[in-house]
Amino acid sequence: DAGITQSPRYKITETGRQVTLMCHQTWSHSYMFWYRQDLGHGLRLIYYSAAADITDKGEVPDGYVVSRSKTENFPLTLESATRSQTSVYFCASSSGGANEQFFGPGTRLTVL
Amino acid sequence: AQSVTQPDIHITVSEGASLELRCNYSYGATPYLFWYVQSPGQGLQLLLKYFSGDTLVQGIKGFEAEFKRSQSSFNLRKPSVHWSDAAEYFCAVDLDNYGQNFVFGPGTRLSVLP
């Protein structure tokens, strides 16, 4: 089915472990985004990508790494997870310009 | 710094009552403005957007929003709320109008009484 998917939907990990959250979209959108959602903060942009092999930092990039080797995929890696990275992570995509962002269902990550 | 504020953290209304959710932004120019809704356990869905022109915009599910430049506001309204409208509502601003630089407000949680 067309759309934007995220995997896993739920993840529990331990402090210090590496975790990768996957995001896949089937619209061939140029832009892709990673946000984290925390109570009282709304959504905060972690990283975004304007096209394959082009990524840039958002508001809260520390502790995260992204890559975009293919247009349709935009994985987010926590190289050494910390408790402060416990959050709900949303991936989004857009065709850019004045167009809306389309959001995935989210991944709930718990770091113990 | 640019910011988006939603003064009401939580609003409770009765089914059938009218609704207004407030959004203010702090930004020099007129950015693109959006309202999104998030149902429990779901991602965000666009309700409506404003780029230019008529300051009253219509969206899905019977929602509308009015842009007021003098007040830097973009308030969301609905004349008659349904129980299914219970959700979290986010105002967002596209700071550079290129779709890359969204800033979201903290959200307003809407509860609907039967």
- Residue located via tokens 């959200």: B107
B107–chain A nearest CA distance, Å: 6
Note the maximum CA span of chain B.
42
Which candidate, A109, A110, A107, A98, places its Cα nearest to that of A74?
A107
pLDDT tens-digit profile of A43-57? 999 999 999 999 999
Phi, then psi, of B60 in degrees rounded to 5: -80, 165
Query: Where does the pLDDT of residue B50 fall: very low under 50, low under 70, confident under 90, or very high at 90 and above?
Result: very high
User: Encoding tokens for residue B101?
Assistant: 């630089």
Q: Does pLDDT of A40 surpass 80?
A: no
Average pLDDT rounded to a whole number, residues A78-86: 97
Q: Is the dihedral of CA B65, B45, A21, A16 positive or negative?
A: positive
pLDDT tens-digit profile of A94-104? 987 767 889 99
CATH architecture for segment(s) A4-111: Sandwich (2.60)
Q: From chain A, pick out residues whose CB is under 8 angstroms from the CB of B41.
A: 105-106
* CA quadruple B108, A94, A10, A22: dihedral, nearest 10: -160
Q: From chain B, pick out residues whose CB is under 8 angstroms from the CB of A31.
A: 99-100
pLDDT of residue A37: 93
User: Encoding tokens for residue B30?
Assistant: 């007129």
Domains and CATH numbers, chain B: 3-113 (2.60.40.10)
Whether A98 sits inside 8 A of B106 (CB atoms) is: no
Domain ranges, ordered by start, for chain A:
4-111
pLDDT tens-digit profile of B72-102? 999 999 999 999 999 999 999 887 766 667 8
